Structure 1
């Protein structure tokens, strides 16, 4: 099975989710959601960058599944995720994200960027503010 996305937690508290360009299947989309959920296993604060440079539009059923995942993990995200940055150069993919959020918004701050540098800068700012607050 080819991955829909890779989840890299090697630089925690920054998590990077990179969409591979593979089409979503029931199996690889569930794997992506499971890996995303595992980022919260240690109950530590994180910030997530979603790199959608190579993303392909997921099936509508997977968009709904993503919205359901957000709903089911609302408190977990609210308690441990400082924010999410989306790197989305494609207008079509930005539209999909808006559709997912129309099914279910997310409980943490987020911003959409056209490049990784701006997203990384924003994520680092979130982490710095959280360190100052603690």
Structure 2
């Protein structure tokens, strides 16, 4: 299953749980296109911590095609992508892939949501954009400025 949370827009969180069918994955790509078509700057956290397996070969190919098709829009509108992946093997594989074919926007690959949200707060601050309210309320944005002590 793939769920979207845009309640903190321009911070978008996409969560992958269990396995995703080809139809669900196509709907995910269509919804990501709709977010890009808003023509607003945003940052995406892609949380795969509850996914039961890696995307299929077909899904990975569709993702690559989507990234290629939307390269210019991603460069223009995306503050970055944080990938939350708990499997060290899959994190390593994604790191290698990103070294071989860099993504269109800044990215990080981390093992938990707290680190991803702190990175997101840093990206918003670096772009001099207001932090989404929940990043402020939960203190993730404060650590990036040093007001909460060491990171």
Give TM class, smaller chain. 0.7 to 0.9
- Secondary structure of the residue aligned to 1:10 is strand
Alignment-derived partner of residue 35 in structure 1: 31
Q: CA deviation at 1:67?
A: 0.7
Q: Which runs of 5+ in 2 are unaligned?
A: 130-151
Distance 1:118 1:46, change over 3 A: same
Higher CA-based Rg: 2
- Structure with greater contact order relative to length (CA < 8 Å, sep ≥ 6): 1
Aligned residues: 128
What is the aligned-residue RMSD (CA, Å)? Answer: 1.9
Give me the whole-angstrom Cα distance separating, in 2, the residues matched to 1:30 and 1:38: 12
Say whether residues 1:70 and 2:48 are aligned partners.
no
**Is this contact kept in 2: 1:63–1:100, CA < 8 A?**
no
- Separation (CA, whole Å) in 2 of partners of 1:100 and 1:27: 25
Alpha-carbon spacing, 1:26–1:80, altered in 2? closer, same or farther (3 Å): same
1:119 corresponding residue in structure 2: 116
User: 1:97 offset after TM fit, Å?
Assistant: 3.0
Pair 1:105–1:65, CA change in 2 (3 A): farther
When the two structures are superposed, what TM-score results if normalisation uses the length of structure 1?
Answer: 0.85
TM-score by length of 2: 0.76
Aligned structure 1 segments of 4 or more residues deviating by more than 2 angstroms: 91-105
